[in-house]
Structure 1
């Protein structure tokens, strides 16, 4: 490690790290960046002695009058910080783990960038003061809260309404290409709204809803799989068979509006087709060539359309469904645009599985484990295991009520 790195102040590395982790041009955006910046600031304050108990003076030697540098970091420092986080009685076990992961991720980046010789934060002795792992896997536990679900669905609903209104109120004198651009924007916004509502309210697994490139049986739901009148949707379940999933009321209107706008040429069209321009360009050229059209004629046809998707609709050139990875990209974009605050060790956006888990929380609390298991297409035993924190909280309320009644009876008997 270069000597100059040893004497670099810790906070001199923060901006470069956050840019690498941020979203958008220049790495200036993203929930992860915002949350990581907050924890790095807290860590910097702690290393300088501004956080901790009255006896804590920071990591700089007492005889040195300077700010903390990488020279001061070692395994013991991260152990002390883990102890500091674990000693904060206002933090839950998982929150302590989450906060430490932000600092640990920065530490690993510093090793790669040459600021540190070793990943001290990941050493066993450094992590020993952290609360014991509860056995849950980071990334599998995100659940959309009611506030997050409402914020995201409200955002996509407003975007779709505005885009559809803009398309349906176009002035007559607009050119055909301008009208097509407005229709395309409305279709994309309506598709995003329908996708978010389905993920938020049906609890269907994203792999059952969309295309999996590694499994030809999972080609994504088609319009023929949906019955908006009955409120049901046929999906290929995790248990390797087709089954009907429920479409609750909040989902019906976005799907119906989206279908009317798309007006798919056949029922075999995917409900959520890809809008990827490269994929659609290849599809259009290949399919039209197979129909006998020459390259020059295909080029002229494409120039008549603002987007290849619109040509595909007119010619019934059925595109593939978006993939599960595509859905994650869409949710990343929408979570960022909606400015939803998310604190999670793995995801800085509302991930698809979080919609399913969030709906599971709602169902368990409202109707119990048996009904939730049926809706989630899981065994009741598995649902009880995954949502055991709900039962624990309810039992705590029962115990509190019992204590109140008993204590009240005891007090009355002594009066």
Structure 2
């Protein structure tokens, strides 16, 4: 939490405005003058919006009030987008991205503990951005290799230090490897808070076949009978999952592959299943809440999609990856776009299969810029031949 002094004001300048000034100065120093020119007025209006509601940096940093406040701000932008002569949905999303980028800088600068703008509850109130490109963010090969390499090294160090206590680091590496190489959506392998369907509560080991190199996931097919799909698990994903299974030692097939490490969630799960007052004694006997769940065969909740994004945010920072101006971390869906694009350049059908698109036209729609560039080269070559 931010301190009272940091949340208040000094000499008439609030902590929020100091954060904005520091963020813009950092961008300016890195040669992002165009970004500063566009973002400064938006961030100034955001500060005014907070001040009109008597809200401070401490409110943004609060675990409950922060996401609620950003949800209200997203609603404010949506109302502006819906008003006659208002801003466009694309502009509304851009404004929100400027604010989110500033708050992400606050996390890195250690004046905020989390970025409340990144929660699903806040972002879902933004207007639909019809003009948003489907390939807005994708992991390049260099980014993918850097992120996976950092996560792998981190997991290896943890296993060497304590094989039985290395689960969080090994889980993070496996998650990154699955996202990076299997082309899955985050909600297909992680728990979605607002979707209680069986296939949106986290991937289970019963649906993973490492020998075949597949995982059964609930996809997005419009055809009911085709929604459960077998996703491919290429070598790097299989290897990371095999290591995870050895470290995790799932006691039942229905154990989540990517289990949550959030202590309050684990305690809540134990209290749902064990007699009243029994959890404390069990923890005292076993040593920690995770071992209690394992001993009792109580499957813990899976890591949420929000939690997965937090993992990627930490690993992106830890790997020191260069990012575009409008990004503060490598997002989960960017992994799917990135591996899809790389395969599409080699084999259209292979990309379609990995992404599990029912029609090749869907895959082509996502990567039409590649087709256009190739056609340009072909046309240039033909024009050159005709001119000979």
1:221 paired to 2:200: no
TM-score by length of 2: 0.68
- 1:342–1:348 CA contact under 8 A, matched in 2: yes
C-alpha deviation, 1:406, in angstroms: 4.5
Query: After superposition, what is the alpha-carbon deviation per residue over 1:284-332, rounded to whole angstroms, capped at 9, x for unaligned?
Result: 233221xxxx62x532321244531122122211112112122112111
- 1:201–1:248 CA contact under 8 A, matched in 2: yes
Secondary structure class of the residue paired with 1:216: coil
TM-score by length of 1: 0.64
In the other structure, the counterpart of 1:163 is 158
Distance in 1 of aligned mates of 2:180 and 2:30:
34
1:147 paired to 2:142: yes
1:203 paired to 2:187: no
C-alpha deviation, 1:361, in angstroms: 0.7
Name the stretch that deviates more: 196-205 or 213-222. Answer: 213-222
Query: After superposition, what is the alpha-carbon deviation per residue over 1:2-34, rounded to whole angstroms, capped at 9, x for unaligned?
Result: xxxxxxxxxx9899557369xxxxxx9xxxx5x
Q: How does 1:167-182 map to 2 (within 5 A)?
A: 167-168=162-163
In the other structure, the counterpart of 1:68 is none
Q: How does 1:9-408 map to 2 (within 5 A)?
A: 17=17, 19=19, 33=23, 37-39=26-28, 101-109=38-46, 111-112=48-49, 136-137=131-132, 141-168=136-163, 183-184=164-165, 186-217=166-197, 218-239=200-221, 240=224, 241-289=227-275, 295=277, 298-345=279-326, 347-368=327-348, 370-378=349-357, 379-407=359-387
- 2:215–2:232 CA contact under 8 A, matched in 1: yes
Name the stretch that deviates more: 155-164 or 274-283. Answer: 274-283
Unaligned runs of 5+ in 2: 1-11, 53-76, 95-128
The count of corresponding residues between Structure 1 and Structure 2 is 302
Secondary structure class of the residue paired with 1:37: helix
Which structure has the larger Rg over C-alpha atoms?
1
Distance in 1 of aligned mates of 2:380 and 2:265:
59
Query: After superposition, what is the alpha-carbon deviation per residue over 1:194-247, rounded to whole angstroms, capped at 9, x for unaligned?
Result: 111111111111111122232222221100100000001101111242111101
Query: After superposition, what is the alpha-carbon deviation per residue over 1:134-180, rounded to whole angstroms, capped at 9, x for unaligned?
Result: 96417962111111111110000000000011114xxxxxxxxxxxx
Query: Aligned in 2, Cα 1:306/1:386: closer, same or farther, shift over 3 Å?
Result: same
- 2:16–2:47 CA contact under 8 A, matched in 1: no
Query: After superposition, what is the alpha-carbon deviation per residue over 1:349-405, rounded to whole angstroms, capped at 9, x for unaligned?
Result: 11111111111111111112x332232122322222221111122122223333444
CA root-mean-square deviation: 3.5
